């Protein structure tokens, strides 16, 4: 009787337990505290502990888990890239195998072959882009369903009274819209929702800057909060959270009572 193949999430759970147990064994053999590893990798001890214990539900998207495993292994003196490659992320690549013998070569001229090659390249790029985007969205949805509380959530509301504003910041005026700018210190996946509508979802690289405006509420979710600087209504720039932390922050406009 054929065994039913494991789902992607089941394979991720089993492989994470296997890799995490080995990382914990090597770390303990070298008498290296988890806090020291956290300091060297700039990954919070909470996430490193979840990796060692194989707790997939406490971790962000699989592509980031693979990156955390690689940095963890590097600190222990291992080949992190090779070690982390065993963890399945669900993001694959297409390989197109096409037999030219199936074509009526006698009727094709060089220009025809060139145009056909261009079409194949375009189709491959589009298929690859679709697969990567779909895998990233599915991974995010699985992460949210398995652990809806995994992302820390913070709400900021612009207040018109001076007592509600931190020192050095400027109080907003009534009915002022929400304006949030982000600057990437490190690469991070980011999702932005303005007044209930998704304005952006994807990966921003180090050095990129973006600004979004909402009438009432703007939500920013990041997989690597420590790599994201935010500016709320032209106030002082602040880091969204800790390195490697999944963080969701809500910025709300002041409402005139």
- Average pLDDT, integer, range 4-30: 92
Structural domain for 218, as ranges? 152-252
Q: Among 104-118, 153-167, 193-207, 235-249, which stretch is predicted with the lowest mean pLDDT?
A: 153-167
249, 198, 13, 78 alpha-carbon torsion, rounded to 10° = -70
Backbone angles phi, psi at 10, to 5 degrees: -65, -40
Residue 157 confidence (pLDDT): 44
Mark whether 162 and 236 lie in a shared domain: yes
Residue 182 confidence (pLDDT): 96
- Average pLDDT, integer, range 71-98: 80
Mark whether 31 and 118 lie in a shared domain: no
The answer to whether residue 223 sits within a structural domain is: yes
Q: What is the CATH number of the domain that holds 48?
A: 1.10.260.40
Mark whether 79 and 124 lie in a shared domain: no
Length of the chain: 257
Structure tokens at 2: 């054929």
The answer to whether residue 89 sits within a structural domain is: no
Residue 106 confidence (pLDDT) above 70: no
Q: Final residue of a domain: which of 146, 164, 180?
A: 146
Residue 136 confidence (pLDDT): 56
Contact present, 183 and 229 (Cβ < 8 Å): yes
pTM score > 0.85 for this model?
A: no
β-sheet with 247-252: strand ranges across: 152-157, 247-252, 217-222, 188-194, 197-204
Query: Among the residues of the chain, which ranges form H helices?
Result: 8-29, 34-41, 45-52, 62-75, 80-84, 110-146
Residue 121 confidence (pLDDT): 79
Average pLDDT, the chain: 79
Residue 19 confidence (pLDDT): 96
Mark whether 176 and 134 lie in a shared domain: no
- pLDDT greater at residue 2 or residue 213: 213
> If 0-12 CB within 10 Å is exposed, 13-18 middle and 19+ buried, where does residue 111 land?
exposed
The answer to whether residue 241 sits within a structural domain is: yes
The answer to whether residue 95 sits within a structural domain is: no
DSSP string, 177-227: PEEEEEEESS-EEEEEEETTEEEEEEEE-TT-EEEEEESSEEEEEESSGGG
- Confidence label for 127 from pLDDT (cuts 50, 70 and 90): confident
Residue 107 confidence (pLDDT) above 60: no
- State the angle between helix axes of 62-75 and 34-41 in degrees (0 to 180), rounded to the nearest 10: 110
Mark whether 136 and 156 lie in a shared domain: no
Contact present, 244 and 205 (Cβ < 8 Å): no
Q: Indicate the SS3 state at residue 198.
A: strand
The answer to whether residue 108 sits within a structural domain is: yes
Which among 67, 70, 78, 27 is positioned nearest to 49, based on CA atoms?
27
The answer to whether residue 91 sits within a structural domain is: no
Residue 143 confidence (pLDDT) above 90: no
Mark whether 164 and 228 lie in a shared domain: yes
Residue 164 confidence (pLDDT): 32
Residue 6 confidence (pLDDT): 80
Q: Which of 62-66, 122-126, 144-148, 252-256 has the highest mean pLDDT?
A: 62-66
Structure tokens at 202: 């994807």
The answer to whether residue 3 sits within a structural domain is: no
Residue 208 confidence (pLDDT): 95
Residues with Cβ within 8 Å of 141's Cβ and at least 6 positions away in sequence, in order, are none
β-sheet with 238-239: strand ranges across: 209-214, 178-184, 228-232, 238-239
Q: Among 46-50, 69-73, 92-96, 216-220, which stretch is predicted with the lowest mean pLDDT?
A: 92-96
- Euclidean distance between CA atoms 191 and 247, whole angstroms: 11
Residue 113 confidence (pLDDT): 67
* 37-78 confidence digits (pLDDT tens): 999 999 999 999 999 999 999 999 999 999 999 999 999 999
Domain total for the chain?
3
Share above pLDDT 70 across residues of the chain, in percent, rounded to a whole number:
69
DSSP string, 7-35: PHHHHHHHHHHHHHHHHHHHHHHTT--HH
The answer to whether residue 58 sits within a structural domain is: yes
């Amino acid at each position: 009787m054929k065994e039913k193949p494991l789902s992607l999430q089941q394979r991720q759970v089993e492989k994470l337990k296997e890799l995490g147990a080995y990382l914990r064994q090597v770390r303990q053999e070298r008498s290296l505290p988890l806090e020291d590893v956290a300091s060297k990798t700039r990954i919070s001890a909470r996430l490193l502990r979840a990796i060692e214990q194989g707790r997939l539900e406490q971790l962000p998207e699989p592509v980031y888990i693979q990156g955390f495993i690689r940095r963890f292994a590097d600190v222990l003196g291992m080949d992190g890239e090779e070690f982390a490659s065993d963890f399945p992320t669900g993001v694959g690549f297409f390989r197109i195998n096409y037999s030219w013998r199936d074509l009526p070569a006698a009727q094709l001229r060089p220009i025809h072959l060139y145009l056909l090659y261009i079409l194949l390249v375009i189709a491959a790029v589009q298929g690859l882009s679709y697969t990567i985007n779909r895998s990233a969205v599915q991974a995010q949805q699985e992460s949210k369903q398995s652990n809806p509380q995994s992302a820390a959530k913070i709400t900021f509301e612009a207040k018109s009274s001076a007592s509600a504003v931190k020192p050095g910041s400027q109080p907003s005026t009534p009915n002022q819209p929400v304006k949030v700018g982000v600057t990437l210190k490190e690469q991070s996946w980011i999702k932005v929702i303005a007044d209930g509508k998704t304005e952006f979802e994807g990966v921003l690289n180090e050095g990129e800057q973006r600004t979004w405006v909402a009438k009432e509420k703007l939500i920013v979710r990041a997989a690597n909060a420590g790599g994201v600087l935010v500016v709320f209504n032209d106030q002082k720039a602040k880091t969204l959270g800790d390195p490697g932390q999944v963080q969701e922050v809500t910025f709300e406009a002041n409402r005139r009572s």
